[in-house]
Structure 1
């Protein structure tokens, strides 16, 4: 399924009305079929049919709501538009933002580690959170859980967070290597191949698990971006400038959280296959286990 301009979450109440209408029609049909029959027994039978059909419709609608992510009240549904953009457009915006961040000596790019204050370089009603990338750490053994304590920097009330969990990025601007394609189709194929390696994904917000994580996979088309002078992917070759890219992975847009302290625990693994990094055996699984601590202001 691809992004559309329609908020599929808004489809649920319409489906509910349609299925309930179908239930009423079925009930009337049952009543007409029973005319001239068994008096009060016929009325009771009609009521049973009505309740059973409506219950069945409600169950189907509830299942649809879960599939669309509507049960995750802290997360924007996958196919909803938020602040005028689709998920895919927000993911493109995230990668344009993170590639423009200089990988300086005081504040490293957030794709390197999580020491950069979450407030630096943020603006507007949606802030971005980047997970240290497997591009830089795939050969690190062992992969240890990380606590990213950002609680000292207060996030303004009413601010949403685009949470980039496990994801991949491919660009023709990258230095020569496994991630470097030569065409737009190659950018999408490489990003998709490594996103296919993601397993065991989980997200827990304040001890409440997010369900149906697989529904939050987002693959972009080709997009343009500008790379910082000390581009995080361009060192030590000192590559920078403008380029094209594609991204793929799992992204959640968190609705504004209440005032106070919050814990977002998420992770998963990249399970690499032979040939992913050239000849020879693949590296061990790259495991991600992040505990993000944040504070939302009044």
Structure 2
């Protein structure tokens, strides 16, 4: 009986430590923590609003460019820095390397893997948008995901799935420059709205200097991602 009691005590202690570690990684905002007064879901909508308005000309969009430039659009001097990823059907995907500057004191938001569906891409109401956005994440096999900051992994990534509110966005003009134009079914470019679903990480402001951020994800048959960012905080 004593042996069982000790074993149970060790198991409970280890379980408590694992839960505490999952909830207190000091480098990132916790899933239920506000990021400068907004939720992860709210910021995911802001992230998409920024990237959806960028025209895709000759695969120069941040979702497509493969050279080592930052390729994150002309981001305004906002309070949160956004990073993007390039999706691939190739498995394993090629690693995309980007070199970016980040303002001192700025949180960094990026999706490990995500999806959005707008009323340009599907016909129906808000519920249809939510269903479409969530579809890749309702498979029997969850995404395989990894995130590492300065060589140290960030764990418990399954806790960081968030759905956005329905949000309006500005589509590029002409509409064929819309990144997802090949899957549009509607020309409702005068009042487009969208919903996002997926896994997101918001890193708390980093110290001034050089940092490395890598993240990868795979949903077999749908998308593969492999990103490496060299970040200079200044």
TM-score (norm 1): 0.64
Measured in 2, the distance between the counterparts of 1:185 and 1:295 equals: 41
Measured in 1, the distance between the counterparts of 2:153 and 2:120 equals: 37
- Which of 184, 205, 209 is 2:126 aligned to? 184
Deviations 1:203-248 (A, max 9, x none): 0111111011001001123222221213212259795443111111
Measured in 1, the distance between the counterparts of 2:216 and 2:161 equals: 14
Matched, 1:293 2:230: yes
Measured in 2, the distance between the counterparts of 1:78 and 1:114 equals: 30
| Residues 168 and 195, structure 1, Cα contact 8 Å, conserved in 2 | no
- Whichever of the two has the greater Rg, that structure is 1
| Residues 222 and 245, structure 1, Cα contact 8 Å, conserved in 2 | yes
284-293 or 260-269: bigger deviation:
284-293
Measured in 1, the distance between the counterparts of 2:21 and 2:190 equals: 43
Deviations 1:45-103 (A, max 9, x none): xxxxxxxxxxx9998875543343x1x22111111111111111111111111111122
Structure-2 change in CA distance of 1:85 and 1:294 (3 Å): same
Measured in 2, the distance between the counterparts of 1:155 and 1:119 equals: 13
Q: Which structure has more RCO (C-alpha within 8 Å, separation ≥ 6)?
A: 2
Structure-2 change in CA distance of 1:219 and 1:236 (3 Å): closer
| Residues 54 and 73, structure 2, Cα contact 8 Å, conserved in 1 | no
Name the one with the larger helix percent. Answer: 1
Aligned length, in residue pairs: 216
Give the drift of 1:113: 2.8
Measured in 1, the distance between the counterparts of 2:148 and 2:95 equals: 15
| Residues 158 and 257, structure 1, Cα contact 8 Å, conserved in 2 | yes
TM-score (norm 2): 0.80
| Residues 191 and 248, structure 1, Cα contact 8 Å, conserved in 2 | yes
Equivalence for 1:168: 115
Measured in 2, the distance between the counterparts of 1:81 and 1:128 equals: 16
Equivalence for 2:207: 258
